[in-house]
Amino acid sequence: MEHCKLFLLLIGLSCVVCGILSDKPRNVLLMMADDGGFEMGAYRNKICQTPNLDRLAKRSLIFNDAFTSVSSCSPSRAALLTGMPSHQNGMYGLHQAENHFNSFGDVKTLPNILSTHGVRTGIIGKKHVGPSSVYKFDYEQTEENNSIFQVGRNITYMKLLAREFLTNSTEPFFLYVAFHDPHRCGHTNPEYGEFCQRFGNGDVGMGKIPDWQPIYYVPEQIELPYFIQDTMEARRDLAAQYTTISRLDQGVGVILKELEDAGHLDDTLIIYSSDNGIPFPNGRTNFYDSGIREPMFMSSPIHTGRRNKVTYSMASLLDIVPTILDWFNISDDVEIDTNEILESNRGLTGKSLLPLLIQEPSNYTDEAIFASHNMHEVTMYYPMRAIRTKRYKLIHNLNYNAPFPICMK
């Protein structure tokens, strides 16, 4: 009898806890690296020091098989925010400058959907998509109204912007922090170094970012990815990238501290990933795993049973929109049931990843991710389509007679 009472008491307590959690407002913090890879301890890199990302990984589900649907900046970010591949959302190439690509005007995007459901939306950092009416956030601090160096690399300034957003959020919120690190900048601002590793490092003329303590690396000690040639030039390049990754990592740390100080660490779904592969040969702009495989962490304040565990289920950045809509309990109101070519068939492609926070699938035989690439810069037309399962990958190069346009910028 006593055992029955204890059992009923435990059930009652669990119901109370569930009730408390379900009544709390739910928020989302999405953090994205720019050309980021697996250079962190959580993915077994023993050289690149990333204590903040590693700490986030320990309170997250760690994805071993996460992929972008397109290995190019603007198309990837448009896919991230629409849940649709680039050939469906219209962002065929880069958005900025002479490239001038935009998504279709009738595409429904995550910030616009959330705003209509009472969720306050904010973006800090690199936006790189358009038109503005399609990707409209309630709070915007991006390259469109700031220097990209300040809102994407100056982690102290980004911290203050995050504080401003969080302090003024009384309703549920979605905050998208898009770091510009560790993207190259040698082609635009060579004075800062190939990866902007000198920007804000305290050297003469470089300024000082108060929240960044740069970490420098010896090229001979760098762990080279399997797809990069082992030359001293490549090692020096990666050493510079590692230093910039230290700014990204410490930026993740200060953003998470702002979230905690605002009292939202325990009611916010936190997602970390990157837009595409690293900017090296065989990396960004191709469909080999080195170009589309991405790091991904997902930390839930409610689903804690699989923290610091690894999922081998296949995931895509196309899954981010369905996941966040599921988190806010918003139904998919952009699905269209038609295959007619002339109709606007632009439904969501992905699936919610929240079930993975509870249980690993028993098998992966039916899982697949899809990729669609048209071009990077406007002069780099090389359309590709791909499907990737656990065992097989098919890459269809539609314009295979053309020379492959390698982008290193």
| CB distance 367 to 341 below 8 Å | no
Query: pLDDT tens digits, residue range 328-347?
Result: 999 865 554 333 433 444 57
Return the pLDDT at 331.
86
Q: Is residue 406 part of a domain?
A: no
User: How confident is the model over 301-323, as a mean pLDDT?
Assistant: 97
| CB distance 35 to 278 below 8 Å | yes
In the chain, the number of structural domains is 1
Q: Is residue 19 part of a domain?
A: no
User: How confident is the model over 26-54, as a mean pLDDT?
Assistant: 97
Q: Is residue 385 part of a domain?
A: yes
Q: Is residue 47 part of a domain?
A: yes
Query: pLDDT tens digits, residue range 253-292?
Result: 999 999 999 999 999 999 999 999 999 989 999 999 999 9
User: How confident is the model over 53-82, as a mean pLDDT?
Assistant: 97
Q: What sign has the CA pseudo-torsion 387, 74, 30, 292?
A: positive
| CB distance 87 to 374 below 8 Å | yes
- Provide the phi-psi class of 79: left if phi over 0, else alpha when psi is between -120 and 50, else beta: alpha
This prediction has a pTM of 0.91
Q: What sign has the CA pseudo-torsion 274, 275, 280, 283?
A: positive
Return the pLDDT at 332.
60
What letter does residue 71 receive in the DSSP assignment? S
Return the pLDDT at 380.
92
Q: Is residue 408 part of a domain?
A: no
How many other CB atoms sit within 10 Å of the CB of residue 4? 8
| CB distance 341 to 92 below 8 Å | no
How many other CB atoms sit within 10 Å of the CB of residue 365? 10
Name the maximum alpha-carbon separation found in the chain. 78
Instruction: Name the E strands within 268-322.
Output: 268-274, 293-294, 296-299, 309-316
User: How confident is the model over 7-21, as a mean pLDDT?
Assistant: 39
Q: Is the pLDDT score of 139 beyond 50?
A: yes
| CB distance 255 to 12 below 8 Å | no
Q: Is the pLDDT score of 6 beyond 60?
A: no
Domain that holds residue 294: 24-397
Q: Is the pLDDT score of 5 beyond 50?
A: no
| CB distance 275 to 34 below 8 Å | yes
Return the pLDDT at 406.
79
How many other CB atoms sit within 10 Å of the CB of residue 191? 11
Query: pLDDT tens digits, residue range 199-234?
Result: 999 999 999 999 999 999 999 999 999 999 999 999
Q: Is the pLDDT score of 22 beyond 80?
A: no
**pLDDT category of residue 130 using cuts at 50, 70 and 90:** very high
**pLDDT category of residue 121 using cuts at 50, 70 and 90:** very high
Q: Is the pLDDT score of 7 beyond 60?
A: no
Residues marked active site are found at 73
Return the pLDDT at 20.
39
Q: Is the pLDDT score of 407 beyond 90?
A: no
Record the tokens describing residue 277, joined without a space. Answer: 């592969």
pLDDT > 70 fraction of the chain, expressed in percent and rounded: 90
User: How confident is the model over 300-318, as a mean pLDDT?
Assistant: 97
For the chain, the average pLDDT equals 91
Q: Is the pLDDT score of 169 beyond 90?
A: no
How far apart CA 64 and CA 295 sit, in angstroms, is 7
Return the pLDDT at 346.
55
Q: What sign has the CA pseudo-torsion 86, 92, 96, 100?
A: negative
Return the pLDDT at 25.
82
SS3 label, residue 125: strand
Q: Is residue 209 part of a domain?
A: yes
**pLDDT category of residue 348 using cuts at 50, 70 and 90:** confident
Return the pLDDT at 214.
98
Pick from 18-32, 116-130, 164-178: least confident: 18-32
- Residue 140, domain CATH: 3.40.720.10
